[in-house]
């Protein structure tokens, strides 16, 4: 006959209560946090999956931050706007240069036209020294804290920036250039007529020479084509900035869709079914109360109760 000692009964009762208290505590923590998985042992496979999801979410968040970092969108928008204004100025310079070719104009009339051309060149130089909202010069390359363009001597235009162009990672396999350096945009232009080899001339010098020719009452017709070359050149950079801006917007949308999908999957694995948890909590509480009542009755048992 198997004999069960009083100590064994007490130990079994205490063990049962502790087990139920542990289960109840876990359920309480789950309800409090709203999470199903509190420690890896709660669901090892689910925990591993969550780690992968969180790593992917963190990476895509970084890509999104890169798209916004240093106001990449705003810088490209500002560059596109500045180059649109450059295009408008060059159109006007071309009109004035054609007007200045008119044979019936007097020297004074040409000098009046030259005055407007010089004013337009100053506006052109100002656009090339455009700053963003952070105070950085958008056409200065990496050396963005100093004005990239200057005109130390009349007719001489100097680029003081560098050749840098930052690349931003906006997806696992996609990088976007967030700026164009001013040397490529404004300084490194081929002239339309320079045999036998092409000669480079900056855009400001071309406009300056148009003004100087008008002031001397000797307009240079070849410079008309050079203005057109400059217009096409800067328009191409403007189109490139717009294309990159669109690419950032499109990739940001794709990234947001990925983030939504992965966060939904994370929620499905990690989040608690509150209705199920509350029902489980009530059941565990009842079981604990029953174990406590049984233990109290066990404590009241004595052989003398039966004498």
Kindly indicate the confidence band of residue 307, based on its pLDDT and cuts at 50, 70 and 90. very low
Query: What is the arithmetic mean of pLDDT over 62-73?
Result: 71
Strand partners, 201: 189
HSE, side-chain direction, 13 A CA sphere, residue 104: 0
Query: Are 108 and 214 spatial neighbours (Cβ–Cβ below 8 Å)?
Result: no
Please report whether residue 123 resides in a domain: yes
pLDDT top residue among 121 and 253? 121
Query: What is the arithmetic mean of pLDDT over 272-291?
Result: 69
Query: Angle of helix 222-270 relative to helix 203-215, nearest 10 degrees?
Result: 150
Please report whether residue 302 resides in a domain: yes
Distance CA 82, CA 124 (A): 9
In this structure, are 137 and 285 located in the same domain? Answer: no
132-152 pLDDT per residue, tens? 888 999 999 888 889 999 998
Please report whether residue 35 resides in a domain: no
Distance CA 180, CA 140 (A): 8
Please report whether residue 120 resides in a domain: yes
In this structure, are 135 and 283 located in the same domain? Answer: no
pLDDT at residue 2 in the model: 45
Please report whether residue 16 resides in a domain: no
Kindly indicate the confidence band of residue 223, based on its pLDDT and cuts at 50, 70 and 90. very high
Judged by DSSP in three states, 176 sits in strand
Q: Check whether 49 has a pLDDT greater than 60.
A: yes
In this structure, are 189 and 283 located in the same domain? Answer: no
Domain extent, residue 291, equals 274-307
pLDDT at residue 296 in the model: 65
Q: Check whether 88 has a pLDDT greater than 90.
A: yes
Q: How many domains does the chain have?
A: 2
Please report whether residue 195 resides in a domain: yes
Strand partners, 153: 156
pLDDT top residue among 114 and 46? 114
**Mean pLDDT of all residues in the chain?**
82
Distance CA 64, CA 280 (A): 41
177-208 pLDDT per residue, tens? 888 999 999 998 988 765 566 688 999 999 99
Write out the two tokens for 168.
Answer: 């931003």
Q: Check whether 26 has a pLDDT greater than 80.
A: no
Please report whether residue 164 resides in a domain: yes
In this structure, are 192 and 294 located in the same domain? Answer: no
pLDDT at residue 6 in the model: 59
Q: Of 20-24, 214-218, 273-277, 303-307, where does the model show the most confidence?
A: 214-218
In this structure, are 255 and 294 located in the same domain? Answer: no
Kindly indicate the confidence band of residue 304, based on its pLDDT and cuts at 50, 70 and 90. very low
In this structure, are 257 and 278 located in the same domain? Answer: no
pLDDT top residue among 211 and 262? 211
Kindly indicate the confidence band of residue 251, based on its pLDDT and cuts at 50, 70 and 90. confident
pLDDT at residue 91 in the model: 97
Distance CA 281, CA 75 (A): 55
In this structure, are 125 and 222 located in the same domain? Answer: yes
In this structure, are 207 and 257 located in the same domain? Answer: yes
- Please report, for the domain that includes residue 113, its CATH number: 1.20.1330.10
Please report whether residue 177 resides in a domain: yes
pLDDT top residue among 84 and 33? 84
Angle at CA 39, nearest 5°, toward 33 and 42? 100
In this structure, are 233 and 295 located in the same domain? Answer: no
Query: What is the arithmetic mean of pLDDT over 22-50?
Result: 72
pLDDT at residue 101 in the model: 94
Q: Which of 91, 113, 92 is nearest to 102 (CA)?
A: 113
Q: Check whether 32 has a pLDDT greater than 70.
A: no
In this structure, are 252 and 187 located in the same domain? Answer: yes
In this structure, are 282 and 249 located in the same domain? Answer: no
Query: What is the arithmetic mean of pLDDT over 158-178?
Result: 85
End-to-end CA separation in angstroms for the chain: 23
In this structure, are 234 and 307 located in the same domain? Answer: no
Judged by DSSP in three states, 307 sits in coil
Report field, pTM of the whole predicted structure over 0.75:
no
């Amino acid at each position: 006959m198997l004999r069960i000692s009083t100590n064994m009964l007490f130990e079994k009762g205490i063990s049962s209560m502790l087990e139920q208290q542990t289960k109840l505590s876990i359920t309480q923590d789950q309800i409090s946090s709203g999470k199903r998985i509190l420690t890896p042992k709660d669901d090892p496979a689910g925990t591993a999956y969550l780690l992968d999801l969180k790593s992917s979410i963190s990476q895509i968040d970084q890509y999104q931050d890169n798209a916004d970092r240093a106001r990449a969108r705003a810088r490209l928008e500002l560059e596109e706007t500045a180059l649109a204004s450059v295009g408008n100025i060059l159109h006007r310079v071309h009109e004035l240069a054609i007007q200045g070719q008119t044979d019936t104009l007097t020297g004074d009339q040409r000098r009046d036209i030259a005055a407007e051309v010089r004013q337009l060149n100053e506006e052109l130089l100002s656009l090339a020294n455009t700053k963003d909202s952070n105070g950085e010069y958008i056409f200065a390359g990496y050396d963005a804290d100093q004005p990239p363009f200057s005109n130390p001597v009349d007719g001489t235009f100097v680029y003081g920036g560098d050749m840098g162009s930052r690349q931003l990672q906006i997806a696992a396999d996609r990088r976007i250039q967030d700026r164009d350096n001013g040397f490529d945009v404004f300084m490194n232009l081929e002239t339309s007529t320079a045999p036998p080899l092409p000669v480079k001339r900056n855009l400001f010098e071309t406009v300056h020479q148009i003004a100087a020719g008008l002031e001397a009452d000797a307009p240079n017709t070849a410079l008309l084509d050079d203005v057109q070359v400059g217009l096409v050149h800067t328009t191409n950079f403007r189109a490139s900035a717009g294309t990159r801006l669109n690419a950032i917007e499109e990739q940001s949308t794709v990234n947001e869709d990925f983030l939504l999908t992965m966060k939904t999957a994370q929620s499905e694995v990690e989040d608690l079914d509150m209705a199920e948890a509350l029902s489980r909590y009530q059941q565990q509480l009842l079981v604990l109360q029953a174990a406590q009542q049984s233990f109290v009755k066990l404590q009241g048992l004595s052989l003398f109760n039966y004498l």
